[in-house]
Chain A
Amino acid sequence: MSDLALHIPTDVIDGPTSLAAVLVAALVVGLCVVRARRHLDERLVPLAGLATAFIFAAQMLNFPIAAGVSGHLLGGALAAALLGPWLGALCVTVVIVIQALLFADGAVTALGLNVANMALIATFTAYAVLTLALKVLPRTRGGLAAAVFAAAVVSVVAASAGFVLQFWIGGEEVGQSFGAMAAAILGTHVLVGLGEAAITAGAVTAVALARPDLVHALRGTRLAQAPRDLKETA
């Protein structure tokens, strides 16, 4: 399962659907630039650049799922929790474009679809779940970890559901077996999502304990529990 990528290759989804996805993705990414700039003004370029470099490095990190099986982060939920929905989606979009053009991962014609699933759907769903969960859960270490965990699982499943939806609209006619295929894809991604969620929750909690001001989801509040010192490793 190492490097299990959702990057859609050439012509899995037909032309009109891909084109529609490009238009939607371009509009939403444009909106992300406007909103992120409103928040950061001229700090946008260096901060978004460094945050993108971080997401890039996070995706290179392989984590174990069970003995012999490892996966890597998609990063949508991580970006949403730490950077907020607009900047987060922008950073993941840049990562996907870099992967398509410099690493041949995902077709150029499917760029709109890939951005829509992995950057936009994943990040915005994660942020919505996170905001709702933090309204209910206490602002403690456990509460934050649980909220981020839920957001990450839902974001990965939502991204794969985005693919299933696009496949239903503009993919191969599979008739009866569509339900089985959808169930297989979504089921696999629940497992991937659990891995993603555990790592994301750990990382966000670590940041929240050391620098709560950097966790966008907390909106400047501290965790209720007295923060323990996070020892940096050299």
Chain B
Amino acid sequence: MNPVDGLHRPGDSPVHRLRPQVKIVALAAFTCAIAATPREAVWAFGCYALLLAGLFALARVPAAWVLSRSLVESPFLVLALAFPFMVAGPEVHFGFITVSEPGLWAGWNLFAKATLGVWAALLLAATTPVAGVLAGLSRLRCPEILLQITAFAIRYAYLTVAEVTQMRLARLARCDDPRFLWQAGALARSLGVVFIRSFERGERVWQAMAARGYTGRLPLEVGPAPASALQWAAALSAPLAAGVIAAWTAAAA
């Protein structure tokens, strides 16, 4: 995985063409709708999954890619599997296994919502370039100082990661193959060297910026483009549909 391009998959679909700020708001709204849906409304989660699947198809993101990227949440799926055995309540028998009914619901709740949340976030990550996400956050009035730090971090992550990879290759070429933690000394020391290099590079970059008249503010006159009402309407239709389903199921429950 490349840390600098994120998970972005270049393309020219309608989803790619939406302004990033619109997509970020839509993602947050969609995730809230998922979280607010009562766990017993199984069909609602099916609707969300279909909605997201449709959007992935529209953005031409292959299903296999989405499924392999969904594995980030696997530690929490272990928790979901443990719930049926942990939560107290009326019990259900499956052959020789006895599990609690509220526990099963809790596990399902965690599994469904975590998966859908990751899918929604993957849709943003796959269709928006890194610079786009930063521009979108800036349109949404995210504090400028954090965005500038983030932009610098992403820009120099290329170099730092390349340095770490290079040192790893150098270690491997010298037959370094630590199998246990107490053999990992070389790894820790090379991390120290990378830190010294990064910090010194930071000072050099600052000196170069100061030499060009930097006084703590980036002279960026070109702001990110605003989004049209049509774009907002198009992007918010998916979370709106999800919100209606969530409100309906919550009222029914």
* Chain A residues at the B interface, C-beta cutoff of 8 Å: 3-5, 7-12, 15, 29-30, 33, 37, 41-54, 56-58, 60-61, 63-67, 78, 82, 90-91, 94-95, 97-98, 100-105, 107-109, 172-177, 180-181, 194-195, 198-207, 210-211, 214, 230, 232-234
* Interface contact B183-A47, CB-CB below 8 Å: no
How close is A114's CB to chain B, nearest CB, in angstroms? 12
Q: Closest 7 CB pairs between A and B?
A: A49-B152, A202-B188, A206-B192, A10-B117, A102-B6, A50-B202, A42-B216
Among B50-58, B106-114, B227-235, the one that faces the other chain is B106-114
| Chain B, Cβ-Cβ closest to A30 | B143
- Interchain CA distance A101-B76 in the complex, whole Å: 19
Q: How many A-B residue pairs have CB under 8 A?
A: 285
Report B's interface with A, CB cutoff 8 A. 1, 3, 6-8, 24, 27-28, 31-32, 34-36, 69, 72-73, 75-76, 79, 82-83, 85-88, 102, 106, 109-110, 113-114, 116-118, 121-122, 124-125, 130, 133, 137, 143, 145-146, 148-157, 159-161, 163-164, 166-168, 170-171, 178-185, 187-196, 198-199, 201-203, 205-206, 209-210, 214-216, 218
- Cβ contact within 8 Å between A57 and B113: no
B-side contacts of A30, CB under 8 Å = 143
Q: Are B195 and A203 in contact (CB under 8 A)?
A: yes
Residue contact B6 to A47, C-beta cutoff 8 Å: no
Known contacts: A48-B149, A194-B181, A214-B199. The answer to whether A12 contacts B114 by CB under 8 A is: yes
If A108-B27, A109-B35, A234-B166 are given as contacts, then 8 extra A-B residue pairs at C-beta distance below 8 Å, sorted by A number, are A9-B73, A9-B118, A48-B153, A57-B161, A57-B198, A108-B28, A202-B185, A211-B199
Rounded to whole Å, the gap between the CB of B235 and the closest CB of chain A is: 15
Contact of A203 among B8, B116, B189 (CB under 8 A): B189
